[in-house]
Amino acid sequence: MSSSGLGDSSVIVTGAGSGIGRAAALRFAHEGAKVVVADLNGESAKAVVAEIQAAGGTAVAVAGDLSDPAVVDEVVTTAVDTFGGLDVLVNNAGIMDRMSAAADVSDAEWDRVIRVNLTAPFLLTRAALPHMLAKGKGAIVNTASEAALRGSAAGTAYTVSKHGIAGLTRSVAVMYRNAGIRANAIAPGGTITGITLDIDPEAHGPKALGAYMHNVGRTAQADEQAAVIVFLASDAASNINGAILPVDNGWAAV
Ligand SMILES: NC(=O)c1ccc[n+]([C@@H]2O[C@H](COP(=O)([O-])OP(=O)(O)OC[C@H]3O[C@@H](n4cnc5c(N)ncnc54)[C@H](O)[C@@H]3O)[C@@H](O)[C@H]2O)c1
């Protein structure tokens, strides 16, 4: 058992096939946790599981779209049936919007971003809580964003979804604080991952936000976000509950 309290724990990391989620899954496994690697992209989920196993860790892949309640059930059931319970849920999977301002957001952009970034984490939280309550212990860590803190970090749909994640985090933190369950979030600033690869920087990228986006700070490595996720899930953070923690080289302080 490691001093983090994560040794032998059962952990779900969503969006763990790439970027911040992948780095978090590797760190949890290094702590001795057993990890459900959940991702839309089955090939990348399997590759991360293979990476964990090659390093002597324990992990299992679940592929599917987490905005589908059946996939949510499969992820939670896999953790409980394979690893004997559920100790940590990391709601990390997310997608960017098209940087659209409110008048330009299509129904499709709104529905998809809210469904993946906000509804899926809610569905996972709802499915996970009974298993944590049964143990009298649990930690939920959500990947929010600088866009949970300000209106100038993304388009309207993404900004609303990440403000929603902050609300979900605080609500769960307060309502389950006497049941041994903590909920916290990281609010990453710009981080090098796969998320921005399909965004045309001229039409839809940061340049589309022009003067609104400034003083953003240094771009982070995915592992700098993952380290904070694992800390918030660990016993070292036992009295941190309901925090939305900027991990952004000071952007939120500007
Ligand atoms: N990279 C940044 O600059 C940045 C900044 C702030 C917040 N974030 C947040 O970090 C989180 C992780 O993103 P990342 O930057 O590592 O990007 P990424 O694209 O590298 O990883 C995201 C992963 O989520 C998966 N995913 C997407 N939709 C899914 C769905 N419906 N079901 C299951 N899996 C799905 C993708 O397949 C991918 O593997 C997201 O919530 C994102 O909003 C990122």
Pocket of ligand 1 (CB under 6 A): 14-15, 17-21, 39-41, 44, 65-67, 92-95, 116, 143, 145, 188, 190-191, 193-195, 222
Tally the C-alpha atoms within 13 A of residue 95's C-alpha that lie toward its C-beta.
20
Instruction: Please measure the distance between the N-terminal and C-terminal CA atoms of the chain and give it in whole angstroms.
Output: 41
List CB contacts of 182: < 8 A, sequence separation 6 or more.
138, 139, 140, 173, 232, 237, 238, 240, 241
**CATH number, domain 10-253, options 3.40.50.720, 1.10.3470.10, 1.20.140.10, 3.40.50.150:** 3.40.50.720
Please report, rounded to a whole number, the percentage of residues in the chain having pLDDT higher than 70: 94
- Confidence band, pLDDT 50/70/90 cuts, at residue 200: low
pTM over 0.95: yes
What is the tens place of the pLDDT at every residue in 96-145?
A: 998 999 999 999 999 999 999 999 999 999 999 999 999 999 999 999 99
What is the tens place of the pLDDT at every residue in 54-112?
A: 999 999 999 999 999 999 999 999 999 999 999 999 999 999 998 999 999 999 999 99
Alpha-carbon span 160 to 170, nearest angstrom:
15
Q: How far is the CA of 92 from the centre of ligand 1 (A)?
A: 6
Is pLDDT above 70 for 203?
no
H helices present in 115-212, as ranges: 120-135, 156-175, 206-209
| Amino acid letter, 249 | N
For the chain, what are the domain ranges? 10-253
Dihedral sign of CA atoms 112, 88, 189, 226 in order: negative
